[in-house]
Amino acid sequence: MAFLCERYKVSRSGFYAWDARERSRRSRDDEQLRARIERIHRDSRGRYGSPRVHEQLKREGVRCSNKRVARLMREQGLRARVSSLYRRSTGVHRFFEKTGNARLELPAPTRIDQIWVGDVTYLRLGKHWRYLATVMDLFSRRIIGWTIACNRTTEVTLRALKRAIALRSPKPGLLFHSDRGIEYSAYGYQAFLRARGFVPSMNRPRNCQDNAHMESFFHSLKAELVHQNRFTNDAQLNATLGGYIERFYNIKRMHSSLGYHSPVEFERLANA
């Protein structure tokens, strides 16, 4: 101890006085805040970064800055799950190139069942692939229809759409937007949309960002769920997806674009 005091030019009495000093209130508050942050991060299964953790703290009546939360999370080694977004190759039907992106001409939706968007992604099951088709209400970002199958066909995307219709019973005039994949541009799918009085809309050629909201959902799904698990059978995969979509993403997951409300909560507030 004498050697260290001499090296750093600190008196021994000064060192012992510092060592006996009580921790600052800021330090004690940080310790309590770390415990809350760790709990919130754990409850989200590691899916929340500092903005959502900060929002949850505010809901619990804890006043602190987002920078402080970010600093404490770095010190604890806590971070949100992230994932690279893998681009899917999509088939294109030249016959349907005349179907443009009608969303570009419309303002953002102001209520549910004005604009729906759909897409397909792939998930690994052992050495095989499964294909997840989803339908999202663009107003609330809620996943209102989904299905998973062994093959990527029009029947898969149509089944997801029918489930969304069964849940919502939308009126004619709803705009349905998708990419230009064969599952959506097929005659049967387009005929079903028009028979229901829906307005079809598709991405512009070579512009996948036209359906960015669905791409964002798939990114979150893979980062927060799929890449953290190994699925051994279809029943396990279906049950895990159902828990994520129906009980976490739709009901609990806070969206910054929705004022940090979940999709179900956002819809409830909009109808209040």
In angstroms, the CA 99 to CA 44 distance is 40
The whole-number pLDDT of residue 42 equals 83
Write down all domains in the chain, each with its CATH number in brackets. 2-76 (no CATH), 94-271 (3.30.420.10)
Rg (CA), the chain: 25
**108: which 2 tokens?**
């953002």
- 137 phi/psi in degrees, rounded to 5: -85, 115
Residue 223 CB contacts under 8 Å (≥ 6 apart), including other chains: 47, 80, 81, 82, 83
**227: which 2 tokens?**
């890449």
The whole-number pLDDT of residue 17 equals 67
Per-residue pLDDT of the chain (272 residues; tens, 9 = 90+): 566 666 666 676 765 665 666 667 777 778 888 888 888 888 887 888 888 888 888 888 888 898 888 888 888 888 776 555 444 444 444 544 556 788 887 888 999 999 999 999 999 888 889 999 999 999 999 999 999 999 888 999 999 999 999 999 999 999 999 988 888 988 899 999 999 999 999 887 766 677 889 999 999 999 988 887 888 899 999 999 999 999 999 999 999 999 999 999 999 999 87
Distances, alpha carbon 129 to alpha carbons 34, 107, 124, in Å? 40, 37, 5
In angstroms, the CA 72 to CA 50 distance is 9
Residue 64 DSSP symbol: -
SS3 134: strand
**83: which 2 tokens?**
């994932």
The whole-number pLDDT of residue 208 equals 64
Instruction: Specify whether the CB–CB gap between 261 and 269 falls below 8 A.
Output: yes
**216: which 2 tokens?**
């964002």
Residue 179 CB contacts under 8 Å (≥ 6 apart), including other chains: 90, 119, 202, 203, 208, 210, 211
Distances, alpha carbon 268 to alpha carbons 213, 262, 271, in Å? 21, 10, 5
